[in-house]
Structure 1
Amino acid sequence: MPERIADRVIKQFSMSTAQFAVAVLVIFLFVSSSTVMANQYVIQGLLGNIYTFTIITLAFFLHAFTHIGQSIILHSVTPGAFTSLIVIIPYSSVLYRSLLVNEVITWEIIFLCLPFCLLIIPVALLAHWIGKKVG
């Protein structure tokens, strides 16, 4: 990676613990609201939307592999690698199996939502920006 780009990436993601906590809070709000909408979908409520929940959980699941990939590429343990292996990947497997078995979602919904996982990138960048401004 060119040094200029590497410096920009490092600057973008360098933050204090307080700033990171604010960024995590912003992402948590997105995840929580998608969970509420998924619940509403299951009970056929007013704000029911399974697609947002599927997109966010798929992005979460796929992001776990970036931590593992970083550990492999960097030949060291990166933050989140163990959590990805021990929590995120097994949780996601159980989650999607349950949703599929209970016919809450279908493989069609999963494949339909996959490209939209890229929309999480601006959300993450926004969360980091808010974290830097507030924290």
Structure 2
Amino acid sequence: MQEISIISMIFTAALVLICLFLVLAPFFSFDSYLSFANKDQDSASNKEVLLSTLNELEFEYKMDKISHVDYKNLKKQYESQVVSIMKDEEEQMTSQAADKDLMAEIESEIEATMNNYKNKKGEGK
């Protein structure tokens, strides 16, 4: 009789712990520590979602499902979000181009220094 109560206590404790975990797990974002998603992919997918939403919004407006005022407000809101994403993409592109130009300049300086060093080394012989 005593074995049954110990086994049932262990089973009950395990069941309570599992229930607590299932209830409290959504409050803690474990995936934030594990996800290393690329921001570019996120912004591209957000831009795609926003553009498709704009398309659906226009379709619903033409079908007279939403009012003109709501259409204008929502369209303005979504377009501003798309514009901000596109500006971020453009800034990234220009910074990448500037980085490429800087790297090319550094490489040319290194090459010129190497050539000067080779010329000086050749003169010493």
Shorter-normalised TM range: 0.3 to 0.5
Greater helix content = 2
Q: Which has the larger radius of gyration?
A: 2
Q: Which has the higher contact order (CA 8 A, sep 6+)?
A: 1
Q: TM-score, normalised by structure 1?
A: 0.34
